[in-house]
Amino acid sequence: MKTLDDLLAEGVTGRRVLVRADLNVPLDGDTITDDGRVRASLPTISALSQAGARVVVAAHLGRPKGAPDAKYSLAPVAKRLGDLLGSPVAFAADVVGPSAKSTVDALADGGVALLENVRFDARETSKDAAERGALADEFAALADAFVSDGFGVVHREQASVYEIATKLPAYAGGLVLAEVEVLRTLTGEPKRPYVVALGGSKVSDKLAVISSLLPKVDAILVGGGMCFTFLAAQGLGVGDSLLEADMIDTCKRLLAEHPEKIVLPADVVIADDFSAEANTQTVLAANIREGWKGLDIGPITVERYGEILAGAGTVFWNGPMGVFELAPFADGTRGVAQAIVDSSAFSVVGGGDSAAAVRLLGLPEDGFSHISTGGGASLEYLEGKQLPGVAVLEG
């Protein structure tokens, strides 16, 4: 696999370099509420710019329906990227059209441009390889080399991720390299005990990774909405908590096969409404009231999970323990995250909501060994799946 360092060693002054970044940030109107992914893209973009390349950044935002949609425009991201780089970022008002061509043509050595949301072009995510290839040809016409640095999308076979790497000399950016190295550590011979803290809303979303990890780990600490399907599988009532009834038998099977590895909450925080103003109670997991819903793990569980994490050699955390965005239900996620920070384990935060929680709750990012930018890609790698955007770089 050729790397960014290889490209820089070849010399990039005056060359147009297309960088596929992951800039899929949360927006409130035009305001970026968490710029973590923008910051993560800076090292590669800065290295190329400072070496004199003409940097063309491609990225997506949200899930537009293959056509321009103002609420998914990358314009606010271009401004934030410019602020962080300390120099303006030119913004193309289309993906590969006249604005993209003129914007790239106007770049000076060291200049940076951001193309509009690649998913505004339906060919980006088309199931037809020929359509994706045609778009990749148009991307290739804008550049002389390609750097893949959006780890959050390397599990997708899309034009700006996969096909483009077959059209131009392709290199792995520092972010992709770092992510793959960390994940290889987790799938190789991790230091034990190897503990996974797994949250999120649905068992069905995490079933493949749970099934893959159970033979390999020493414990999976279950939180988030998914824990209530496991509790129901134990025969407990869960009130109005999130429940996937069609997954109960699957959870029963997993609990029967790995009773010593799957650790479930002993207590939970319940509420009579899904809001920060709701009435709340902390109850044993066996005592969830009808009409109430579980929205966080309780303090007994936080302490128990903390003790397990304190003795861990390796930790992978993916998914919040509760609805951390609402203050009454943030203590579980905060407590588990702090226990990981306090441990001496090699610790990996698996992207997405977990990374956002670290920042929102004010936890030190350097308290974790690695914070991934790609939750879905991380999970698929741990499931043993091939990531198309990585495989194409490996030739």
Instruction: Select which of 352, 374, 375, 389 is catalytic.
Output: 352
Burial 177-213 (b: 16+ CB within 10 A, else e): bbbbebbebbeeebeebbbbbbbbbbbebbbebbebb
37 in a known ligand binding site: yes
155 in a known ligand binding site: no
The tokens for 101 are 């061509």
The residue whose two tokens read 């609990």 is 255
- Alpha-carbon span 233 to 252, nearest angstrom: 5
8 in a known ligand binding site: no
- Alpha-carbon span 222 to 283, nearest angstrom: 17
Backbone φ, ψ for residue 236 (5° rounding)? -90, 150
Instruction: Select which of 133, 313, 376, 385 is catalytic.
Output: 376
Q: What is the DSSP letter of 288?
A: P
359 in a known ligand binding site: no
Active-site residue flag, 223 = no
Instruction: Select which of 2, 101, 202, 261 is catalytic.
Output: 202
353 in a known ligand binding site: yes
Question: Which residue, among 95, 112, 103, has the nearest Cα to 51 in the 3D structure?
Answer: 112
387 in a known ligand binding site: no
Active-site residue flag, 79 = no
Instruction: Select which of 20, 37, 132, 334 is catalytic.
Output: 37
Largest CA distance in the chain: 67
133 in a known ligand binding site: no
97 in a known ligand binding site: no
352 in a known ligand binding site: yes
Active-site residue flag, 202 = yes
351 in a known ligand binding site: yes
Active-site residue flag, 37 = yes
206 in a known ligand binding site: yes
Please give the positions annotated as active site. Answer: 37, 202, 352, 376
Known binding residues for ATP: 206, 294, 325, 351-354
Show binding-site residues for (2R)-3-phosphoglycerate: 37, 119, 156
Q: Which residues are annotated as a binding site?
A: 22-24, 37, 60-63, 119, 156, 206, 294, 325, 351-354
